[in-house]
Amino acid sequence: MGDNDCCCLACVRTQEVGVVEDLGEFKRLLGPGLHFVLWPLESVVGRMSLRIQQLDVMCETKTKDNVFVKVGVAVQYRVIVDSAYDAFYRLTDPRNQVQSYVFDVVRSTVPKMELDEAFQAKEDVAEAVLTQLRDVMADYGYEIKQTLVTDLSPDARVKAGMPHCIQKRSWSIEMRDHHFWRLWILQQVVHIIFLVVHPIIRHRNNVGAT
């Protein structure tokens, strides 16, 4: 018996459902209010909240361009009243079950994307998680209300290396521009030399011909 029970009376709070067993066998579900229980034959063995709950999952995976990222996913779910029996008896740890499916979806979706693409596809990842969880968890008596990708960030080592990569990239661009600049100057010098030398050569050829 729970804190809200007294021998043959059981009290179930609003937004809760009580589970009654008779000598170890499921008997019935109790809605909010005061109920009469045939104690000690019957007992309230558990209560389940009908409120929306949130589970925050952090998953590490790798993108298509071999960058390790941490993906944070928030899942909002609740017990379906008419399926409270399944929710109570079929799953020992629903939060762990939800987490496992989130891991599975994230690790099968993100590796198909490059880092930049993954940043832009947060909604697609969230939708994939929602689609997978909604059908599976309904069989266990749970409704998935919403999923949201709350965080998608590269590994700390990648973050630390980003300034170096940016600096190296800028240096490469600078060297490339410098090379093009030198090539342009060389082309201009050759052009000037041609403008000066060509008339002299042509003049000599004309003098030699006479």
Residues 86-106 have pLDDT tens digits of: 999 998 899 999 999 999 999
Find the range with the poorest average confidence among 3-7, 12-16, 26-30.
3-7
Beta-bridge partners for 74: 56, 148
Q: Quote the pLDDT of residue 35.
A: 85
Q: What's the whole-model pTM score?
A: 0.67
Q: Quote the pLDDT of residue 156.
A: 67
C-alpha–C-alpha distance, residues 140 and 70, integer Å: 28
- Residue pair 140/61 in contact by the 8 Å Cβ criterion: no
**Residue reference for tokens 């600078």:** 174
Q: Single out the residue of 87, 80, 7 nearest to residue 46, CA to CA.
A: 87
Q: Single out the residue of 74, 77, 4, 14 nearest to residue 46, CA to CA.
A: 4
pLDDT-derived band at 76 (thresholds 50, 70, 90) equals very high
Q: Quote the pLDDT of residue 79.
A: 94
| Terminal C-alpha separation, the chain | 128
Q: Quote the pLDDT of residue 185.
A: 66
- Give whole-number Cα distances, 180 to 55, 173, 177, in Å: 55, 11, 5
C-alpha–C-alpha distance, residues 8 and 40, integer Å: 8
Structure confidence by residue, pLDDT tens digits, 34-61: 888 888 888 888 899 999 999 999 999 8
Sheet holding 33-36, edge to edge: 5-6, 9-12, 33-36
3-state helix, strand, coil split of the chain in percent (to 5) is 50, 30, 20
Mean pLDDT of 144-156: 86
Q: Quote the pLDDT of residue 106.
A: 92
